[in-house]
Amino acid sequence: MFSFNHFNFNVLDLEKSLKFYDEALGLKPVRTKDAEDGSFKLIYLGDGKTGFTLELTWLRDRKEAYNLGDLEYHLALETDDMEAAHKKHEELGVICYENPGMGIYFISDPDGYWIEIIPKKDR
């Protein structure tokens, strides 16, 4: 049996990314790992509710933007209050795509990764 543990995004500006994930989604660092030689840093962000984490990987020697391809992948987060979430993301200027027919929208992080925002549904 397997269970989800974490997902990874590589980031160029770690501080900018940490600020984005905190402000836009309320994700906070739950653990870190630093390379002994300072060549990389891993920061795992959690939502405070589930055990799933988003790993942000920063590489010291990386200077160019990551090639994200056609962005046919994304991370999805659900919210109890779509209206408030949408308003907040609109104010932050991070909404990159909306699909009102499906009741969802996407935000983009500082490196261009897309994050889908979906309403919480009773299961």
Angle at Cα 18 formed by Cα 75 and Cα 54, nearest 5°?
35
Spatial distance between the Cα atoms of 27 and 46, rounded to a whole number of angstroms: 5
DSSP state of 50: S
Q: How far is the C-alpha of 8 from the C-alpha of 99, rounded, in Å?
A: 25
Please identify which of the residues 15, 83, 98, 116 carries the catalytic annotation: 116
Q: Catalytic: 78?
A: no
Angle value at C-alpha 65, between 62 and 66, nearest 5 degrees:
90
Question: What tokens does 84 get?
Answer: 């408030």
Q: What is the distance between the alpha carbons of residues 114 and 40, in angstroms, rounded to a whole number?
A: 23
**What are the residue numbers of the active site?**
116
